[in-house]
Amino acid sequence: MIEANEEEALGVIANEVKVCQKCRLGKTRTQAVPGVGDPEAEVLFVGEAPGYQEDQKGIPFCGPAGKFLDEMLASVSLDRDKVFIANVIKCRPPENRDPEDDEKNACWPYLQKQIEIINPKLIVCLGRHSMMRLIPGQASISKIHGKPLRRPDGRVYLPLYHPSAALHNGSLRPVQLEDFSKIPSIIEKIQKSDQITPTSQESVPTAEVKINQEGKDKIIKQKLL
């Protein structure tokens, strides 16, 4: 139990992010949005980038999409104090444009450090951009949403539609709530599987995932939970 150290380490990252000028978004942001939550959270939610409200307040998911996220968290007896919420990109791209590759690369080490410190059991990718960064591959989120995947780093990832998707397309709302409802049982399975050491590679179910490496498509196998 080293919560104080984790909190302190996350605080150091947050302070670096707040003054960061490693990419052009540092010039246009109002406030950077490092992330908030429990330093020892079992679940880390990762969105794409701050929007207008987040940029104004420095808090992730504090606009209408955040309200729906809170509702979904409450539906599985979670709240912001029990999880950690961050973004792939810590500063708002102007007019909410997609982040450029160099901006994503410049910001990536912050999220990597946050993952190392928090060491969550489950990383929930909120939306396509988060999924593309954390689960590299070409699968569409419409095909893999709600399906947990254990990646070569040993962590379990769950891709979900971004909460704002339901605001644009109401028919996705029940789908998102159903996907979210799987989170408690996924955590339970992870806790059980963490206690079991597979006797061989073959004993772990895998799925084929297409990735693009140096411009070439390559099929790799990723472990399913």
Give the span between the Cα atoms of 188 and 203, in whole angstroms. 19
Instruction: State yes or no: residue 13 binds ligand SF4 (CB under 6 A).
Output: no
* Identified binder of ligand SF4 from the candidate list 13, 14, 17, 44, rule CB under 6 A: 17
Give the span between the Cα atoms of 84 and 114, in whole angstroms. 10
* Identified binder of ligand SF4 from the candidate list 107, 118, 139, 165, rule CB under 6 A: 107
CB nearer ligand SF4, residue 105 or residue 142? 105
Look at residues 85, 27, 94, 68 and name the one whose alpha carbon lies nearest to residue 174. Answer: 68
* Identified binder of ligand SF4 from the candidate list 10, 14, 25, 117, rule CB under 6 A: 25
* Identified binder of ligand SF4 from the candidate list 91, 134, 165, 190, rule CB under 6 A: 91
- β pairing state of 156-160 and 122-126: parallel
Give the span between the Cα atoms of 148 and 8, in whole angstroms. 30
Instruction: State yes or no: residue 113 binds ligand SF4 (CB under 6 A).
Output: no
CB nearer ligand SF4, residue 42 or residue 103? 103
- Residue 173 tokens read as 């709302």
Instruction: State yes or no: residue 10 binds ligand SF4 (CB under 6 A).
Output: no
Backbone angles phi, psi at 156, to 5 degrees: -100, 130
Give the span between the Cα atoms of 132 and 145, in whole angstroms. 12
Q: 33-71 in b/e burial notation, b at 16+ Cβ within 10 A?
A: bbbbbbbbbbbbbbbbbbbebbbeebbbbbbebbebbbe
Instruction: State yes or no: residue 89 binds ligand SF4 (CB under 6 A).
Output: yes
Task: Give least dist CB 97 to ligand SF4, A.
Answer: 13
Task: Give least dist CB 163 to ligand SF4, A.
Answer: 21
Per CB under 6 A, which region of 4-12, 85-93, 157-165, 173-181 contacts ligand SF4? 85-93
Give the span between the Cα atoms of 34 and 17, in whole angstroms. 6
Look at residues 7, 32, 34 and name the one whose alpha carbon lies nearest to residue 21. Answer: 32
Task: Give least dist CB 6 to ligand SF4, A.
Answer: 20
CB nearer ligand SF4, residue 1 or residue 19? 19
Task: Give least dist CB 111 to ligand SF4, A.
Answer: 9
Instruction: State yes or no: residue 186 binds ligand SF4 (CB under 6 A).
Output: no
The footprint of ligand SF4 (CB under 6 A) covers 17, 20-23, 25-26, 32, 89-91, 103, 106-107
